[in-house]
């Protein structure tokens, strides 16, 4: 049986690459020295695209593949896929939700604890001899019993809130509407008001054109000079210029970030700050979750080409 030809946009771990190569005729876009030439050569035959959340598939790529039927995203975010182009062509789109939810929530909580308690600096304090030479590490701020806001109470936001309850925190959230499954949390419709009521603000909402820079200067300044912003969603949900300005001037206390505009080449202004925790977009980065994500990418492709229902459709 002929293997369906697919275009692979970015690399996957070897444990995913081998079964992908076994099931499909894979053209590796990311390895091509001349990507335009590759698209011109193989685009007319491509029936599927396997991509990653941050890489997506833009309109030009989609239009270069006239036989394209399905795009399978390795990741929960699909904002980098041109959904309008897919709708126009009847192209199916899938992602990998649920399997990464708990790991992403775990990292969000870990980032809050790490930054609030100064753990990176504290380890350096031990390693560089400061503990022996200078004495006790400077005091930091507690987490338990304080106020937490969750912006976007979807799968990941709900798991973050569940974990925050273990710290006896006062928990509020914003979403498009109040959620019936969150009756023990306070619903605050306005993100600015949510920030006003929060010591820690977790950004966990899905990214779209409507949410671009939803965390702008008003939200950031409402969070204030004692507040902490934690982003485990997408970089586009935050106005980075407003965030950097607030961090540099002290209008915002601190930020813990796993995603950045233009990553991995983040704005160098971040590197000069000592009130940020910087992570390399690895909230889902556990062996267990990444294996589950890779399998779901392949399962969605296989289901489509077999004429079966897609396990996790977006379109």
Closest among 250, 122, 141 to 200, alpha carbons compared: 141
Spatial neighbors of 50 by CB under 8 A, at least 6 apart, are 6, 7, 8, 9, 12, 20, 24, 26, 72, 74, 297, 301
Tokens matching residue 57: 């598939």
Burial class (CB in 10 A: 0-12, 13-18, 19+), 188: buried
Q: Are strands 276-278 and 254-257 parallel, antiparallel or unpaired?
A: parallel
Angle made by CA atoms 129, 277, 110, in degrees to the nearest 5: 95
- Active-site residue flag, 234: yes
Question: Of the residues 146, 281, 290, 304, which is catalytic?
Answer: 281
180 bridge partner residues:
none
Q: 167: which DSSP letter? A: T
Entry field: residues in the chain: 315
Determine the Cα–Cα distance for residues 291 and 75; give it in Å rounded to an integer.
12
Question: Of the residues 27, 92, 234, 304, which is catalytic?
Answer: 234
Question: Of the residues 163, 193, 263, 269, which is catalytic?
Answer: 263
- Active-site residue flag, 142: no
Spatial neighbors of 143 by CB under 8 A, at least 6 apart, are 112, 113, 116, 117, 167, 169, 200
Report whether 29 contacts 35 (CB < 8 A).
Answer: yes
- Region class of 63: left (phi > 0), else alpha (psi between -120 and 50), else beta: alpha
Report whether 91 contacts 81 (CB < 8 A).
Answer: no
Q: Which helix (H) or strand (E) holds 115?
A: helix 101-116
Report whether 105 contacts 154 (CB < 8 A).
Answer: no
- The catalytic residues are 234, 263, 281
């Amino acid at each position: 049986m002929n293997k369906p030809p697919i275009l692979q946009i970015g690399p996957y771990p070897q444990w995913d690459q081998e079964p992908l190569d076994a099931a499909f005729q894979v053209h590796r876009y990311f390895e091509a020295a001349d990507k335009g030439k590759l698209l011109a050569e193989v685009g007319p035959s491509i029936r599927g695209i396997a991509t990653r959340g941050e890489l997506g598939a833009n309109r030009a790529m989609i239009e270069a593949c006239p036989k394209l039927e399905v795009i399978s995203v390795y990741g929960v975010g699909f904002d980098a896929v041109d959904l309008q182009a897919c709708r126009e062509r009847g192209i199916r789109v899938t992602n990998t939700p649920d399997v990464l939810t708990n790991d992403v929530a775990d990292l969000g909580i870990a980032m809050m604890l790490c930054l609030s308690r100064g753990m990176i600096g504290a380890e350096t304090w031990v390693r560089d001899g400061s503990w022996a030479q200078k004495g006790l590490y400077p005091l930091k701020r507690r987490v338990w019993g304080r106020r937490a806001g969750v912006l976007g109470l979807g799968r990941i936001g709900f798991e973050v809130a569940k974990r925050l309850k273990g710290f006896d925190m006062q928990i509020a959230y914003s979403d498009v509407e109040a959620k019936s499954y969150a009756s023990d949390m306070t619903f605050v419709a306005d993100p600015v008001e949510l920030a006003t009521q929060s010591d820690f603000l977790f950004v966990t909402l899905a990214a779209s054109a409507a949410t671009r820079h939803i965390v702008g200067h008003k939200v950031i300044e409402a969070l204030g000079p004692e507040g902490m912003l934690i982003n485990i969603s997408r970089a586009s949900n935050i106005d980075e210029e407003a965030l950097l300005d607030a961090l540099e001037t002290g209008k915002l206390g601190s930020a813990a970030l796993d995603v950045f505009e233009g990553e991995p080449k983040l704005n160098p202004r971040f590197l000069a700050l000592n009130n940020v925790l910087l992570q390399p977009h690895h909230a889902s980065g556990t062996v267990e979750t990444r294996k589950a994500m890779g399998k779901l990418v392949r399962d969605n492709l296989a289901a489509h080409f077999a004429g079966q229902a897609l396990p996790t459709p977006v379109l």
